[in-house]
Every structure is written in C-alpha cells, then in structure tokens.
Amino acid sequence: MKSDYWLHLKRTVKFGECDSAGIVHFHNLLNWAHQSWEESIHKYGISHKDIFPSTSNKINRGLPIVNCEAKFFYPIELGCILNIEIRPKKINNHLLQIKTIFFNESIKAAEVHIVHCSIDLQTKEKIKLPNCLELWIEASNLENKIKEC
C-alpha cells in the first residue's frame, strides 16, 4: 500500500448527486471535499473525537469554515469514478487550508479550497490547531516534497 494512501481517495458519482442532465449539482462538490478530508484524517489514524467536541470528550475547540471556493474545469457526470487528491496546508497557527482536487480519469475536473479556523468555543478566540492535525499536515507535505525530489 502506498505510504500516502490517506491522501488519495475515490468516489463514484450517484444519480441523486446530479441534475436532470446527468451533471453533478454544484453544491455536491463542496460536500465531497469536506467528506474527503474527514475520510483522509480517519485513514491517517485520527479520530473525530480527537478534534471535534462531543458528549464523550472535553474538547472546547471548533473548526468552522471561514472561506471556501470551488472551481469546475470539466463536466462531472453520473457514474464517473473520481480520483480525489487531498492537499492540506497550514496557513498559520490557527488556520488550515485543504485543497481537494477531483480527477475524472486523468483529467482535472474540479478543485475545492476550504479554510478552517481553530477557535475556542467559549470565547470564540483563535487558538492553535490541534497537534494531531498538524502532524497530518506535516506528513502529507512530506509526501509531496518527496515526490518533487
């Protein structure tokens, strides 16, 4: 198995995700990008309970989306098997950008950029990103740098 398997995912476009012409409805791209980064951190070994608050932990941190952008380059149609590439980047101590690229076979079909801000849920002040996410970002960037050598 490739060492960066958590950065490369697949999904098949389903009927309910398309408009009447069989082309993916635009809002699904943002949803898929968000689901992909969640799947990526899970495959890397990070539990959502280590990042997000729940009734079973004492986490007082939120990661709201503060910016998002989606670009379509090629039609994504019903039945397409998309190859998804995740490229996280630490912007600063409290901001994380996740670039998600969708390929239809070898053609770049779409790209999504989502920025999350780490905040204290009580004070709404910016706080440091969780260490486990910083390690995930660092590991993914190491894989990209190794490929560039």
Tokens of 78: 């019903």
Q: Is 19 a catalytic residue?
A: yes
Give the active site residue among 4, 19, 50, 120: 19
Chain centroid to Cα 48, Å, comes to 14
CB 114 within 8 A of CB 70: no
* Structure tokens, 7: 């950065």
Phi and psi torsions of 70, nearest 5°: -130, 140
Q: Taking a C-beta distance cutoff of 8 angstroms, is the pair 82, 11 a contact?
A: yes
CA 1 to chain centre: 21
Tell me which residues are annotated as active site.
19
